[in-house]
Amino acid sequence: MTTFSFTPVRASHRSRREEGGEGHERAQERKDEPHVSVMTDEVLAALEVKKGEVVVDGTAGAGGHSEALAHAAKIKLISLDADPDAVAAVQKRLGKKGAVINANFGDLLAVAEKTGITFIDKALFDLGWNRGQLTAGRGFSFMYDEPLSMSYGPKARSGFTAAEMLNTFTEKALADIFFGYGEERYARRIAKVIVERREEKPLATTLELVELIKDSVPAAYRRGRLHPATRSFQGLRIAVNDELGALEQGIEAAWKLLAPGGRIAVITFHSIEDRAVKRLFAKFAKGGGGEKGRLLYKKPLVASAAEIKRNPPSRSAKLRAIEKICPQE
């Protein structure tokens, strides 16, 4: 019997306008459109990068934020991404203005040690989708028939692909993933049907999973504004990539490396991530990370109405930022 250790998050059934909600579904519909980084102006204002600073973009994605940071000032830019395809594309986009490393931001301390970085001045984590991932053939999209991998990199950070989880995890473990990471209200029903059906035939593709989910939920839910597979796919993706564990490790590492007066900015797209960031920043503000921090905003910033109109997925974005207080302060 396969076991899987993680900390489920209690669902709050918040607005569907989260990464796993309407914004993500629209991204699915516009699969071939180029990715647009969100809240770039707000990121630049929060970080206030200055000449000569060491800046980390923990989520290079399509390179939009990395490029904006490189253009803002002459800095030493280090961008990370778990997807080797993204690394190649962003390095081409940046040229000599930054170094792009194939690594998960959860491994930031190891990257710093390997590259000889002893401190950083600024760090950015944009936890949203790189739309190019929807065309990567790894099973992120519930609208196309693809293998059930859902791993950002060549290997799943959790040690399990989505198919392996679906075909070997217990009914309870699957329900915990769908409910805890996807806030799926019908998690138990979906897990039960998956376990029953996999005895007949192991799940291999996204559309097979979509059909099982549709068979598991009430008809009214299938006809709802939100695609019935959205939350289950979100839960699986978070579990496969150990996203919450990597998030905590990455932000803790950035805080440890951060020089006095340095800043960290994080953009989240659903309530589970935002709560995790809020908790970490609150700890730092109280000196729980070794040195005390100052929250730059009492409440997270959100995208402007103009940006939301121009780039609808930005409607879910929330930006939090913190500064490490200098000793004399």
Q: Which domains does the chain have, with CATH numbers?
A: 40-132+243-324 (3.40.50.150), 138-240 (1.10.150.170)
In the structure encoding, which two tokens stand for residue 328, read together?
Answer: 């004399």
- With a CB cutoff of 8 Å and minimum separation 6, the contacts of 62 are 34, 35, 37, 86, 89, 90, 130, 131, 132
* Dihedral over alpha carbons 67, 37, 237, 176 (to 10 degrees): 120
> CA-CA distance, 247 to 55, in Å (whole number)?
18
Cα distances (Å, whole numbers) of residue 8 to 35, 94, 245, 271, 279? 30, 38, 11, 13, 16
Q: What's the pLDDT at 143?
A: 84
Over 80: is that where the pLDDT of 19 sits? no
Which band of pLDDT confidence, cut at 50, 70 and 90, is reported for residue 328? low
Identify the CA nearest to 291 among candidates 320, 319, 266, 261.
Answer: 261
User: What confidence score (pLDDT) does residue 61 get?
Assistant: 87
Identify whether the C-beta of residue 105 lies closer than 8 Å to the C-beta of residue 58: yes
For the residues 156-171, what does the mean pLDDT come to? 97
- Counting Cα atoms < 13 Å in the Cβ hemisphere of 164 gives 15
- pLDDT given for residue 290 in this prediction: 77
Question: Under the phi-then-psi rule, with left for phi > 0, alpha for psi from -120 to 50, and beta for the rest, what region is 264?
Answer: beta
**Across residues 101-113, what is the average pLDDT?**
96
State the Cα–Cα distance between residues 18 and 253, nearest whole angstrom: 26
More reliable by pLDDT, 190 or 133: 190
281: pLDDT strictly greater than 80: yes
pLDDT (tens digit per residue) in 241-280: 999 999 999 999 999 999 999 999 999 998 999 999 999 9
Contacts of 53 (CB under 8 A, 6+ apart): 73, 75, 76, 121, 122
Q: How far apart are CA 301 and CA 306, in angstroms?
A: 14
Of the candidate ranges 102-106, 187-191, 284-288, the one whose mean pLDDT is the lowest: 284-288
- DSSP bridge pairs for 2: 169
Which of 20, 57, 9, 37 minimizes the C-alpha distance to 275?
Answer: 9
The whole-number pLDDT of residue 34 equals 62
Question: Per-residue pLDDT averaged across 175-197, rounded?
Answer: 97
| Contact criterion met (CB below 8 Å) for 172 and 105 | no
Instruction: Please tell me the predicted confidence (pLDDT) of residue 138.
Output: 83
Percent helix, strand, coil in the chain, to 5, is 45, 15, 40
- Assess whether pLDDT exceeds 70 at residue 112: yes
List, in sequence order, the alpha helices (H) in the chain: 22-29, 40-47, 64-72, 84-94, 108-115, 162-168, 171-180, 187-198, 206-216, 219-222, 230-240, 243-257, 271-285, 305-310
Which of these ranges, 28-42, 130-144, 214-228, 313-327, has the smallest mean pLDDT? 28-42
**Up-side HSE of residue 3: CA atoms within 13 Å toward CB?**
1
Q: Which whole number is the average pLDDT over 64-86?
A: 95
Residue 97 has pLDDT above 90, yes or no: yes
- The chain-wide mean pLDDT, for the chain, equals 88
Indicate the length of the chain as a whole number.
329
Among the residue ranges 4-18, 139-153, 208-222, 272-286, the one predicted with the least confidence is 4-18
With a cut of 60, say whether residue 299 has pLDDT above it: yes
Q: Is the pLDDT of residue 148 over 50?
A: yes
Give CA separation, 80 vs 62, 135, 191, 282, 297, in Å: 11, 20, 34, 25, 26
| Residue 9, pLDDT above cutoff 70 | no
Confidence of residue 144 (pLDDT cuts 50, 70, 90): confident
Euclidean distance between CA atoms 327 and 329, whole angstroms: 5
- Name the least confident of 1-15, 81-95, 128-142, 169-183: 1-15
How far is the C-alpha of 4 from the C-alpha of 323, rounded, in Å?
A: 36
Residue 113 tokens, joined: 């040690």
Q: How large is the average pLDDT for residues 211-224?
A: 95
How confident is the model at residue 288, as a pLDDT?
83
What pLDDT score does 291 carry?
84
| Average pLDDT of span 173-192 | 97
Q: What is the pLDDT of residue 133?
A: 66
Please give the average per-residue pLDDT across 20-24, as a whole number. 41
